[in-house]
Amino acid sequence: MNLYAVGKTLVKTALSPLYRFQVEGIEKFPETGGILLCSNHIHALDPPVVGMTAPRTVHFMAKEELFKAPILGSILPKVNAFPVKRGMSDREALRTALKLLKGGEVVGLFPEGTRSTDGVLKKGLSGAGFFALRGNADVMPCALIGPYKPFGKVKVVYGDPILMEPYRERKASAEEVTEAIMASIQKILDENSENK
């Protein structure tokens, strides 16, 4: 049994009556190859919503504490989540993410590192740029546009992929790549600001 597919169906079934999801730009999502899927973070439901709308299986980093929860802890690995220690260098999480990206998988993360309480995009952490550069992956920017109000519209907009080869060729820094990723997410937010 593919628990990821089952989970995706369950999330859609549970959330669709509560919110009106509108997904745009899905045709831009690369069909193959390693992809670092980067999104803004405005709500606790963001990971399942991104996973539900993405056309490919997404492997999410999740804070280590969640894996210690009685029921959730046993479910997360089966839906392709892997633990990361927050606030410190986690070599195991780094190795896992890079292995997945180099193996042609999709790794999802929220570069801000935490939720934005006011909806304004925060500065991204340099880890996003590190994974993009070292994982031989391109980047798929995504913007979640809420707010998550009962029966309200939640937009999930996928932007144009960011090709990493030019950055690798000129040995760009992780910080520079992260800034480019955040600028792409901000561009999507700006383009959709009047259509919330």
pLDDT per residue as tens digits for the range 173-191: 999 999 999 999 999 999 9
pTM for the full predicted model? 0.90
Q: Is the pLDDT of residue 69 over 90?
A: no
94-97's contacts with Cβ under 8 Å and 24+ in sequence apart are 97/59, 97/61, 97/131, 97/135
Say what the alpha-carbon torsion angle 26, 31, 34, 40 is, to the nearest 10 degrees: 0
Token output for 99? 């292995």
pLDDT bin (cut points 50, 70, 90) of residue 87 is low
Domain of residue 52 covers 3-192
Enter the tokens of residue 97: 């993410």
> Residue 39: is its pLDDT beyond 70?
yes
Rounded to whole angstroms, the Cα distance separating 82 from 153 reads: 30
Confidence at 2, pLDDT banded by 50, 70, 90: low
CATH of the domain at 8: 3.40.1130.10
Number of domains into which the chain is organized:
1
**Could you tell me the pLDDT band of residue 196, with boundaries at 50, 70 and 90?**
very low
The chain-wide mean pLDDT, for the chain, equals 89
Q: Which residue has the higher pLDDT, 87 or 55?
A: 55
Q: Which of 76-80, 105-109, 123-127, 178-182 is predicted least confidently?
A: 76-80
Q: Give the residue with greater pLDDT, 33 vs 146.
A: 33
Confidence band, pLDDT 50/70/90 cuts, at residue 194: low
The partner residues of 24 in beta bridges, in order of sequence, read 157
Percent of the chain with pLDDT over 70: 95
Assign 48 to helix, strand or coil: helix
